[in-house]
Structure 1
Amino acid sequence: MDTSRSSTDGTDSGTDGGADSGTDGGADGGAGSGSAAGSAEHDGTAGADRTGWRRWAMDTRPLRRPAYRRLWSSTIVTAVGSQLTAVAVPKQIYDITGSSAWVGYASLAGLLPLVVFALWGGAVADSMDRRKLLLITNTGIAVTSVLFWIQALVGLDSVLVLMVLLALQQAFFGLNSPARNASIARLVPEDELPAANALGSTVMQTGLVAGPLLAGALIPVIGLGELYLIDALALCVTVWAVMRLPALPPLTGSAAKRAGWREVVAGFRYIALHKVLLLSFLADIIAMVLGMPRALFPQLAAETYAPYGEGLALGLLFAAIPIGAVIGGLMSGTFSRARRHGLMVIVAVMAWGAAITGFGLSTSLWVAVAFLAAAGVADMVSMVFRGAILLSAATDEMRGRMQGVFTVVVAGGPRLADVLHGTAGSVLGARAAVAGGGLLVVVAMAILAVAAPALRRYT
């Protein structure tokens, strides 16, 4: 079950001169004018080659931008805090019902509002000051966390109340995420977008590792309900950081004047007309739907890796991909300056598929964990450049809607993968399903790269 709020991808020259796939200048159409970090703040030496270990270490240039630094630093606290709630909700539901099925139903209860409000939230983010929208939605998420705490404090023990609060929280997150991600291109120069994405993704992946571990340690000490309160207090840090951001109103007169479903449909039409945007979404769908094997982790822990201890095996399998992603983020200096963003996405997705195939063929737990960690590194590279393509290839008045679709793809892809892999695992066996899914990723991505040169040529 995924209750995490951070849970958190261009074009033919023939279709749109403002986002041409073959040149930087065309893709800069929206980003160049939209970067508040602009040339006035840009340090001419920022792009200078680094030597020694700095060449490999994380690229921290975006942190020299005060506004981005405030936004990023707030996620350090909330990335962990959100995971406390992500653990507490399913744990409380299971304690009340004694049924894993109800835990799954609650996950679905949160998915629909996330999808609806992420799509609508993208249109809202393109029609109003994004800073104001972030203030409203972060406050709403904080209030929801307080309500989670209150229901636990008074001992309601109502699954219905928990599901309603979860749906409300996911609706606020759906409104929040597009505005937050779209704002990054207004806070840093375009050449620093991959580095900014790497910084943000590394924090989120660290939260996926540290948050559940912290929750497991705190529940026996302070109880379940207090996890919600800690999350609410962490969100106060985010609200304070957002208050200190500059205003982020729509840049041009062509920005959406309203945020109805006509504007949402216009966003999908924009994606259809801009090949690199469409292809970047397809790359993520290929990687996640065909190659995310998390639904088979319990079966593999119980069958293939049982001699190592089922509990140890299960914990390591779930932790390996986020750990690999964190390692990839810490070493992002090795790739964040690459200019061929489309090619980097292709290579990363194929590397993901190859690593998942190796995982499926592994009988040793430690070899399996190493392959999953390698997959996590590849996933980080893919996230960094898909995010950069989304922000650079779309004009500012469309960035919110692009991020809304991105949120839906990120949330929905792994859930579809759970159904696909769970079904395949029961028919073919867990290891065959995993290895076969990884091979399908490599083949499908190779076909996409050959059939659609716009992605591999995108610079």
Structure 2
Amino acid sequence: MRASPAFAKLWIGSSVSQIGAQITIVAVGLHIYDITHSTLAVSLLALWALGPMILAGFLGGALADTFDRRLVALVTAIVAWCSIGTLTLIAFLGVETTWPYYALAALNAASATIKGATQGAILPRLLPPQLLPAAAALSGITMGLAITVGPAVAGVLVATVGFAWTYLLDVVLFTGAFFGILSLPSVTPEGERRNPGLGSVVESLRFLRRAPNVRATFVWDLVAMIFGTPRVVFPAAGALVLGGGPVTVGILTASFAMGSLLSGLFSGPLGAVRRQGRAVTLAIAVFGVCTTLFGVVLLVTGVVEGPDAPDAPLVPAIVLAGLALAGTGAADNVSAVFRTTILQAAAPDDVRGRMQGLFYVVVAGGPRVGDLVAGAVATLIALWAPPLLGGVVIVGIMLVLLRTARGFQRYDAHHPTP
């Protein structure tokens, strides 16, 4: 932050606005569950958002490689802010039809994807290469702080003042994003620029095909997110297994973020790691182990307590579940630091926006596919099945990749190659 005041202001603004974003993510899930009493309906938030987010990732990356990246980030921030404001308005009006909430959440997610991809492409222009791991760690701290504070606040506010006032807080906090973006200098892409369109997207996919290390960061993360995203079971777990309702949902979500935050605060040694591909693989394996432990807690608690919903919060079970989720958050953040650094260091500036767009499609879209998978598995089997079975699958795949994907395991941070 001393090296780049512009980065410092962007980081501070993002930290504030992302707290509000996490408040809304949790509140919308709780709102849909309150209207429908269906875990599958909560997971449909992912289905509504997935298509627009994929399109936004490709479009946003192309825009960031064509126009002033500061302007692109500012316009998409305005769109996201308007979608949150409209969500707040219909909640105050008492609308209980679900499709407006799905549609506005999808618009907000698409806008956030473009904004995030653009900001990711800006960072290597604000900082020297040796500080990119530190920037990625600070971004992890931002997200950890947001997911720690946001869901906890959302759980309490939904239980006390209702959904509309909870959304309104995000409207206020999102103004931090404008503070960060407006402080940026003009950031125009270097090298050859193409008009945004199908040709630009095809060119980026061609680059990805000949960039195995960059490609691996996407594939590894998809494995983790598709099989290790059990958040859609949180509302039902809080109501039926662990007790505590919305407050427990906030605690579970915040536990993941607390692990991410703590690992970010103690991430200094990560900057000295050279074999960053191997570090990604091992971190995701640990992520899978902790996800499995969360599933075990739900399974054992459900067996011990029986089929009836608990009358009061089961504090020991909630603590154990929280510790397991904190482990997943810490491992996920370590993986994210190295994946982000590999992508920003290895991708040339003229395709960096499009690679960041793909990165955000994976980072934001992968968990939504995971939501659908978890919702379907929970509906077909039980609430404990998505984390327990998914965690086992993740560990198995990472152990195989550790022995077979030797090129990625040998990736050298001192000599980054795509």
Same fold (TM over 0.5): yes
> Taking structure 2 as the reference length, what is the TM-score of the superposition?
0.83
Match of 2:361 in 1: 408
Quote the residue 1:247 is aligned against.
Answer: 186
Structure ID, larger Rg: 1
Taking the TM superposition and a 5 Å limit, the aligned residue runs for 1:190-205 are 190-205=129-144
What's the secondary structure of 1:335's corresponding residue? helix
State the one-letter code of the partner of 1:248. Answer: V
Q: Is 1:134–1:180's contact at 8 Å kept on the other side of the alignment? A: yes
Report if the CA contact (8 A) 1:96-1:157 is conserved: yes
Once the two structures are superposed, the pairs formed by residues 44-443 of structure 1 within 5 Å of their partners are 62-93=1-32, 102-154=41-93, 159-219=98-158, 223-252=162-191, 254-255=192-193, 257-297=194-234, 306=241, 309=243, 311=245, 316-362=251-297, 363=300, 365=317, 366-424=319-377, 434-443=387-396
Distance 1:287 1:274, change over 3 A: same
Using the TM superposition, give the Cα deviation of residue 367 of structure 1 relative to its aligned residue in structure 2, in angstroms.
Answer: 4.1
- Supply the distance in 2 between the matched residues of 1:259 and 1:190 (Cα, whole angstroms): 27
Which residue type is aligned with residue 213 of structure 1?
Answer: A
Structure 2: state its 5+ residue gaps.
Answer: 301-315, 413-418
Alpha-carbon distance in 1 for matches of 2:215, 2:89: 43
| Contact map agreement 1:194 1:337 (CA 8 A) in 2 | no
Shift of 1:231: 2.3
How far apart in 2 are the matches of 1:451 and 1:411?
27
CA distance in 2, matches of 1:316, 1:154: 29
How far residue 157 of structure 1 moved from its aligned partner, in angstroms, is 5.3
Aligned-pair CA distance for 1:277: 0.8
Deviations 1:340-376 (A, max 9, x none): 2212112211222233334444547344433332222
Cα distance 1:438–1:186, how it changes in 2: closer, same or farther (>3 A)? same
Amino acid at match of 2:14: T
Count of residue correspondences: 393
* Structure 1 unaligned residues grouped into runs of 5+: 1-61
What residue number does 1:453 align with? 406
- Amino acid in structure 1 at the alignment position of 2:208: I
* TM-score, scaled relative to structure 1: 0.76
> For the structure 1 residues 244 and 458, does the alpha-carbon distance in structure 2 shift closer, same or farther, using more than 3 Å as the test?
same
The alpha-carbon deviation at position 379 of structure 1 amounts to 0.8
Counterpart position of 2:309: none
Q: In 2, are the aligned partners of 1:141 and 1:173 still within 8 Å (CA)?
A: yes
* Residue type of the alignment partner of 1:70: K
C-alpha distance 100-451 of structure 1, shift in aligned 2 (>3 A): closer
- C-alpha separation in 1, matches of 2:385 and 2:106: 36
CA distances 1:95-115 after superposition (whole Å, capped 9, x unpaired):
666666654444422222122
Asked if structure 2 preserves the Cα contact closer than 8 Å seen for 1:92 and 1:224, the reply is yes
Q: Distance in 2 between matches of 1:295 and 1:230?
A: 23
Distance 1:310 1:165, change over 3 A: closer
